[in-house]
Chains A and B, each alone.
Chain A
Amino acid sequence: MRRAVALVFGGVVMVVVMVVCGTSRATAGAGSWRVGSKAFTESVVLGEIAVQLARSTGREATHRPGLGGTRLLWDALLKGDLDAYPEYTGTLAEEVLSDARPAEGAGQGWVTAALAARGVGVVGPLGFNDTYALGVKRAMAERLGLRTITDLRRHPELRFGFSSEFMSRGDGWPLLRARYALAPADVKGLDHDLAYRGLASGAIDVTDLYATDPEIRRDDLLVLEDDRGIFPRYDAVLLYRLDRAQSAPEVLAAWQRLRGRIDAGAMADMNARVKLDRVPEQAVAATFLKTTFGLTAPQARAPGRLEVIARYSGRHLFLVGLSLLAAILLAVPLGIFAARRRRLGQVVLAAVGIVQTIPSLALLVFMIPLLGIGPLPAMVALFLYSLLPIVRNTHAGLRGISPALLESAEALGLPPAAILRRIELPLASPLILAGIKSAAIINVGTATLGALVGAGGLGEPIFTGIRLDDVALIMEGAIPASALALLVQGLFELIERAVVPRGLRRRDA
């Protein structure tokens, strides 16, 4: 009995600590504008610009940067978890609205109409077209007089090096060669990063790139004009919920000022400042708004590194702790049930086993349409992942008890509930606790993926670090995550000491 109390008490204390640590910044104000962005620099900068513009009207606005993918953002927008996010017309036409696409020759208007039918409005185009393009070194372009892709035909001696994807895509090199009738002497496929290096070293002369890549500035490249217009347009736009804009037209008006104001050069420059100069997106966005509109958006105080890490860690523990508590409350009874009812027990074990085989990223994406973005889908995924180790160990712990001991308990005249509480659960407690421990440790790792659905936590610096190729930032998430895993392990060893009966503990011999 004392031990059962200690177990419950220990668990509750642990979870309360986790929750208190985590809730400090768990929710944003309900009236706040929520802007999302995808997990690459350009999208985050655009999202930040939108947020700061919204704030300049006096409204509150929050940014959920670096969410994991188009589908996720689009679903979140439709569901109302987000009010706006930056997108590209090409992506809308090819990917998001592909099933609403009319027959050929319908023009561009159908996209706006299809969006409106779904309650979504468009601000834009913002001014740049982030499509495939060909780049050459500016010095060479000036020497040879290159301005457009057509100009390349005059110089078949130039060596072409394309990324493997561009070489193979139907709308890449094959289309380019056919439509411009290019016949270069030398074409090879290579890795995108290597292509930039090759261009810089003079090993190749022409490569494919995205029109706003920061390397354009770094390597002093010139983007050749697609004068025959063969590449699909990827005009940057800002999508927003029409219903939300009606209630606050001044925010929409502020965003409308962005139309046509960001050209490819400006965007590439901003990307370069973030990726190459390591300037935070907020500062880059603020500088843009100041030089373009003379706006001085109120800047939030930049918190110190330790404060940031503490905040991420707190949120991380919150995700893991709450999901683990819920999992314990369900999985232990499930494990008991599985141990009691053999046939149905196998079904239960198989079911939680199958959940475990779903890749974590896929599981997170499944959650979006049901639960939106934020901590909830991440916690539900972590909860589901915790079930298997706990159910399986509870089941194994109970089934492993010697029948002779159970008979002894029965012969005493103990009722079944008392046998479970006084005999079976204490005897199974080392295994049950081991199951909870592995679930907790694994979840500390898995919870980093929560950043991709806007759950926050230590995945946020990790994924931002990956996006910016910033090892220090990755470490800001990875080191505390490892430390947390060790901490959780240590914590469970303490709980083990309190909960597992002395007679069952391993002897130090």
Chain B
Amino acid sequence: MTAVEAAGAGPIVQLQGVSKRFDGAAALAPTDLEIPSARTTVLIGPSGCGKTTLLRLMIGLLAPDSGRVVFGREGKDTVLTRDNVRALRVRMGYVVQDGGLFPHLNARDNVSLMARQLGWTRERIASRMNELAELVRLPPPLLDRHPAEMSGGQRQRVGLMRALMLDPELLLLDEPMGALDPLVRAELQDDLVAIFAHVGTSVVLVTHDLAEAALFGHTLVLLQEGRIVQRGTLEDLLERPADPFVTRFVRAQRRFDGPKGMAP
């Protein structure tokens, strides 16, 4: 139990003995994990370590083979099931690598899609839209463009707006910067840090980049081959590695990326 965890108001999501196999191969060994609320948790690890699987289990895009996913808010816990998954997804925001925008809708319609489905008034949608455009620093005229007419960074900002539209309790991001070139990436990273701080919502972010993880994460969860190897702060990983793999992973990242903000 770290100081970071104690600062939260209880977990927003709990994974209890959750496991998942694909075609007989274990993608995730039985795992327990609590995601603290109002904090940013980073799932990190090499390709195929199960971090994306973990994220998809949280939003119910995958059903666990064993165990259960509990979505909680202020002591009111709900076990994720087939029947309530759609209602719970409305309380989550989900951003994927390329933004996952619908090519037939312009940015505005992409962002407002679910709000319109829920019957929001035009005024309410417009006001929320302006708020979000300002927050993600997207020039409003771009809202009338279609995804094909925008840059990768702009698409990602729209994707974020769509995820934030309904003011979710939990924001899930799967390698949101994965497809961006370094300059755009750095700019968006800085903006995201500011946005998360402003919104104050619970965030789970998947990345394989330790520097990025350090930038966002209150809590880092390092995975290897479908198992959580260590969870803690960056400092914990650097100073108190739970496993030789942790040291290897940290070293490999340092050698190639020269991550900023990692100096002890």
Contacts and interface: CB of A to CB of B under 8 A. Distances in A.
Interface of A: 404-405, 407-415, 418, 422-423, 426-427, 429, 501-504
B86 A427 contact: no
Interface in B37-92: 59, 61, 86-90, 92
**Residue of A405, A501, A503, A504 contacting most chain B CB atoms (<10 Å):** A503
Interface string B73-117: 000000000000011111010101010111111100000011001
Contacts of A409: 102
Contact of A413 (B90, B105, B147): B90
B179 interface: no
Contacts of A426: 104-105
Contacts, number: 65
Contacts of B100: 404-405, 407-408, 411
Nearest to B172: A411
B148 interface: yes
Contact of B102 (A410, A427, A502): A427
Given A411-B100, A413-B87, 18 more contacts: A405-B103, A407-B61, A408-B100, A408-B102, A410-B89, A411-B59, A411-B89, A411-B92, A412-B114, A413-B88, A413-B89, A423-B104, A426-B104, A427-B102, A503-B103, A503-B104, A503-B106, A503-B147
Contacts of B61: 407, 410-411
Contacts of B104: 423, 426-427, 429, 501, 503-504
B146 interface: yes
A414 B117 CA distance: 8
A415 B103 contact: no
A426 B113 CA distance: 14
Which of B90, B96, B100, B101 has the most A CB atoms < 10 Å from its CB? Answer: B100
B106 A422 contact: no
Interface of B: 59, 61, 86-90, 92, 94, 96, 98, 100-106, 113-114, 117, 146-148, 162
A182 B259 CA distance: 112
A408 B96 CA distance: 8
Nearest to B117: A418
Instruction: Rank and list the top 4 A-B pairs by shortest CB-CB distance, nearest first.
Output: A503-B146, A408-B100, A413-B89, A501-B104
B89 A412 contact: yes
Q: Which label, helix, strand, loop or mixed, suits the secondary structure of the A interface?
A: helix
A503 B105 contact: yes
A408 B101 CA distance: 8
B103 A504 contact: yes
A405 B86 contact: no
Nearest to A3: B104
B115 to A, nearest CB: 10
Interface centre among A408, A409, A410, A415 (most CB of B within 10 A): A408
A427 B92 CA distance: 25
Contact of A422 (B96, B113, B146, B162): B113
A368 B100 CA distance: 54
B169 to A, nearest CB: 13
A484 to B, nearest CB: 31
Contacts of A418: 117
Contact of A414 (B103, B106, B114, B148): B114
Nearest to B86: A413
Nearest to A427: B104
13 contacts: A404-B96, A405-B100, A405-B102, A405-B103, A408-B102, A411-B61, A411-B92, A412-B90, A412-B114, A427-B103, A501-B104, A502-B106, A503-B106
Q: Indicate the member of B90, B101, B106, B114 with the most A CB atoms within 10 Å.
A: B114
Contacts of B147: 503
Of the candidates B61, B87, B147, the one having the most CB atoms from chain A within 10 angstroms of its own CB is B61
A422 B59 contact: no
Contacts of A407: 61, 96, 100
A429 B105 CA distance: 13
B186 to A, nearest CB: 26
Contacts of A423: 102, 104
A6 to B, nearest CB: 14
Given A405-B102, A411-B59, A411-B94, A503 B148 contact: yes
A102 B98 CA distance: 82
Nearest to A503: B146
A415 B86 contact: yes
B117 A422 contact: yes
Contacts of B103: 405, 427, 503-504
Nearest to B87: A413
A410 B162 CA distance: 13
Contacts of B117: 414-415, 418, 422
A411 B168 CA distance: 12
Contacts of A501: 104-105
Contacts of A413: 86-90, 114
Nearest to A408: B100
A422 B162 CA distance: 15
A403 to B, nearest CB: 11
A413 B96 CA distance: 15
A411 B101 CA distance: 12
Given A405-B102, A423-B102, A503-B148, A412 B113 contact: yes
A426 to B, nearest CB: 5
A412 B61 CA distance: 11
Contacts of A410: 61, 89
B140 to A, nearest CB: 19
A407 B95 CA distance: 11
Nearest to A411: B94
B202 to A, nearest CB: 16
Nearest to A428: B104
B200 to A, nearest CB: 22
Contacts of B146: 502-503
A418 B89 CA distance: 15
Nearest to B148: A503
